[in-house]
Amino acid sequence: MADSVTQGEMKRFLRKNKFIATGKKNNRYIGVLNGEKRLLVFHYHKDSDMIPSGTLKAMAEQLGISKNQLVDLIKNR
């Protein structure tokens, strides 16, 4: 699948872009993307779990970008 992303890939993307885990369960990530402060809710389970397409789209919206842009950023395209 062209737009498939694992939870491990997403977690590495967040770390690489200096997002900081906050909140009671550390499932909220705060960081800056494209010059704007962003809050992303990400429920991590394990590295190999795939992120469903709809969830990936919702995460991209939280970051203020399209799903395709998010996949490209994660995959370094």
Tens-level pLDDT at each residue, the chain (77 residues): 557 899 999 999 999 999 999 988 889 999 999 999 999 999 989 999 999 999 999 999 999 999 999 999 999 87
Tell whether 75 is covered by a domain. no
| Structural domain boundaries enclosing 11 | 5-70
pLDDT at position 77 is 75
Tell whether 76 is covered by a domain. no
Tell whether 18 is covered by a domain. yes
Q: What separation in angstroms does the CA of 8 have from each of 13, 27, 35, 45? A: 9, 14, 24, 9
pTM of the model: 0.88
Tell whether 26 is covered by a domain. yes
pLDDT at position 2 is 59
Q: How many domains, the chain?
A: 1
Cβ contacts of 6 within 8 Å, gap of 6 or more: 47, 48, 49, 50, 51
